[in-house]
Amino acid sequence: MQYVSTRGGVEPIGFKDAILMGLATDGGLLVPEAVPSAEIHLEEWVGLSYSELAFQVIRLFSDDISDEDLARMVSASYSRFDHPSVAPLVGVGSLSVLELFHGPTLAFKDIALQFLGELFAHVLTERGQTLNILGATSGDTGSAAIEAMRGRPGVRVFIMFPEGRTSPLQELQMTTVLDPNIFNLAVEGSFDDCQKLLKSVFGDLSFKDQWSLGAVNSVNWARVLAQVVYYFWSWYQLRCPASFDVTVPTGNFGNIFAGFLAKKMGLPLGQLNLATNDNDILARFFRSGAYQRGHVHFSLSPAMDIQVASNFERYLYYQLAEDPVSVKSFMTQFQDEGDASLPTQEGNFNWFNAGSVSDDETVETIRRLHETHGYLADPHTAVGIALAEKSQRPSIPMVSLATAHPAKFVDAVSRALPSVDNVHPVLSGLATKETRKYSIVADEASLKSFIESACD
């Protein structure tokens, strides 16, 4: 299996090289030369555990890792989850909610980042290399990456987050990790400012090579690949219906792109419902074909407070018939003008249904779910469920993805349910722990200077 860039400027490389490269050196994103079919394997995978299924899906994309090593890494990745099925499917009214928050940091990012941590450790040890990981987070990616990489030899982790724009508990999950290889960078600005810094620094190839920079954001192919697994897992937990729909609360497009990829692989997945908050650039695109940057609206679902979705380019690559020239042209126009458009009646547009959910509707959904079904949802999960309920089709099972434990968002949940106990033992003791973070301005030179000083 070889990997190429969505912009056509990278010679085909293997899986391990693709993981270490992270963001493609031409500014694009790495994708497989061909998407493998899973249809011939669907029957033989019935009855597998989550780890066994993950091994089977991932090995289709990673033929430069031995089966023995891959099986070991996958098993280790899911050994710290607090539920025996890793990602249980729970009935909530007429919906099935896939709980993806049973990992060590209580967010769906653990499913991919625990695997990426094992993968980095394996490849770096094998090659005798070191890696400086640079990431940007709107909340959960940072703590999940830190937990996966803390204390690992040969790895330093630099995580940027928008100062004051993550939940207090999300920030504490990052800043209470004091391992010497972890650096939390509080950036004066929005998540989009952090993401812009990430891409500009990775775009300086001489700096990237000099300081051996790697990525843990969903620009890294392994992140998306690990998320593909739970779409297959959902189908098996539903007992293999002829078709099923999913609803995904969406910010950076990586989570729902994994579902798109599973569908391309032959999983009988019907409609992909894309749920956003008031930052509805993706919802507007799938309604009109216009990808138009707006102003970031800070909301009760902060991980979705995004106007530039970093994984959207992978979708574009397939929507534009895998033509890197067209992808580069679209992305250049969007970068320069903040606006680019595509026809809505071509390619895979009709695979998606999209909608946005306001803060008021989010709060009401949290309240109603608890009062009606006894289910406590975090605000991101509530955004997804609100759209799922509107989009459910008769006789077709609907899976809505639950992306974080509600205890990570105390303020938002208490706005809906002020008298409900919303705690988790992993989070309860964080407030009394020592913290460490470094404040930087949203400036490329400042970020580079910090990395250089930390690596000397």
Query: Is 430 a member of any domain?
Result: no
With respect to residue 159, please indicate whether it lies within any of the assigned structural domains.
no
Is the CB of residue 114 less than 8 Å from the CB of residue 216? no
Task: Please check whether residue 205 lies inside any domain of the structure.
Answer: no
In a domain, 324, yes or no: yes
- Encode pLDDT of 55-76 as tens digits: 999 999 999 999 999 999 999 9
**Averaged pLDDT of the chain:** 94
Residue 166 has a pLDDT of 85
Catalytic residues: 109
Residue 39 inside a domain? The answer is no
- Report yes or no on 118 lying in a domain: no
| CB atoms closer than 10 angstroms to residue 128 | 7
What is the reported pLDDT for 95? 98
Res 265: pLDDT = 98
Domain tally, the chain: 1
Q: Report d(CA 113, CA 281) in Å as an integer.
A: 26
User: What's the angle, vertex CA 131, arms to CA 125 and CA 136, rounded to 5?
Assistant: 135
Identify how many contiguous H helices and E strands the chain contains and give both numbers: 18, 15
In a domain, 43, yes or no: no
The CA distance from 440 to 447, in Å, is 7
Quote the radius of gyration of the chain (alpha carbons, Å). 20
Q: What is the pLDDT of residue 303?
A: 84
pTM for the model: 0.93
Six token digits for residue 297: 């609206």
Supply the pLDDT for residue 396: 98
Residue 235 domain boundaries: 89-106+222-423
> Any idea which of 33-42, 152-161, 387-396 has the lowest mean pLDDT?
152-161
Rounded mean pLDDT, 141-154: 91
What's the CATH number where 367 sits? 3.40.50.1100
Instruction: State which of 19-23, 27-31, 152-156, 192-196 shows the largest mean pLDDT.
Output: 27-31
Instruction: Tell me what pLDDT residue 245 has.
Output: 98
H or E segment and range at residue 401: strand 398-402
Is the CB of residue 96 less than 8 Å from the CB of residue 89?
A: yes
How far apart (Å, rounded) are the C-alpha atoms in residues 232 and 220? 21
Q: For residues 319 and 330, is the Cβ–Cβ distance under 8 A?
A: no
- Chain segment 391-432, per-residue pLDDT in tens: 999 999 999 999 999 999 999 999 999 999 999 998 998 989
In a domain, residue 313? The reply is yes
Tens digit of pLDDT for each residue in 334-370? 999 999 999 887 788 899 999 999 999 999 999 999 9
Which amino acid, residue 16?
K
Predicted local distance difference test score (pLDDT) of residue 217: 80
Question: Residue 218 has what pLDDT?
Answer: 82
- Beta strands per DSSP E along 293-386: 339-341, 352-356
Better-scored residue on pLDDT, 54 or 167: 54
Among 38, 78, 88, 87, which residue's Cα sits nearest to residue 58? 38
